[in-house]
């Protein structure tokens, strides 16, 4: 699995869509049941176990194409990732009220 991360990042960066407007979306991932957590070898030494869920954060355009993405640990604030995702994007940014804080709103304009 660890060997697949770099090719996945390259593939997703090569297949980005046109910048027409951006929607932020978070998708939680569940990778291992708690009964088998000690046997899990996926991303061993990289991934950490936490109380909160790990998540994928996506920046999507209005046509559903991936514009930007990042992987975060469970203790990362969802709003902290928005600026990183939208750093090189232009156009309007749409998302849940939770993702768009005052600092994010002011830095976009």
Q: Containing domain of residue 34, as a range?
A: 2-108
What is the distance between the alpha carbons of residues 73 and 47, in angstroms, rounded to a whole number? 8
Q: Which helix (H) or strand (E) holds 102?
A: helix 102-108
Domain count, the chain: 1
Dihedrals φ, ψ of 40, to 5°? -70, 125
Tens of each residue's pLDDT in the chain, 109 residues: 567 777 777 776 676 666 665 555 554 445 555 565 566 555 556 555 555 444 554 455 556 666 677 777 667 776 777 777 777 777 776 666 665 556 655 555 5
Q: Is there a contact between 67 and 18 (Cβ–Cβ < 8 Å)? A: no
CA 86 to chain centre: 11
């Amino acid at each position: 699995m660890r060997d697949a991360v770099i090719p996945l990042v390259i593939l997703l960066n090569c297949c980005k869509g046109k910048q027409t407007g951006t929607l932020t979306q978070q998708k939680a991932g569940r990778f291992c049941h708690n009964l088998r957590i000690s046997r899990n070898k996926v991303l061993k030494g990289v991934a950490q176990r936490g109380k909160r869920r790990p998540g994928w954060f996506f920046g999507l355009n209005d046509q559903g194409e991936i514009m930007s993405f990042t992987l975060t640990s469970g203790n990362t604030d969802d709003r902290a990732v928005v600026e990183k995702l939208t750093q090189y994007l232009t156009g309007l940014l749409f998302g849940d009220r939770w993702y768009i804080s005052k600092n994010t709103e002011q830095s976009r304009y």
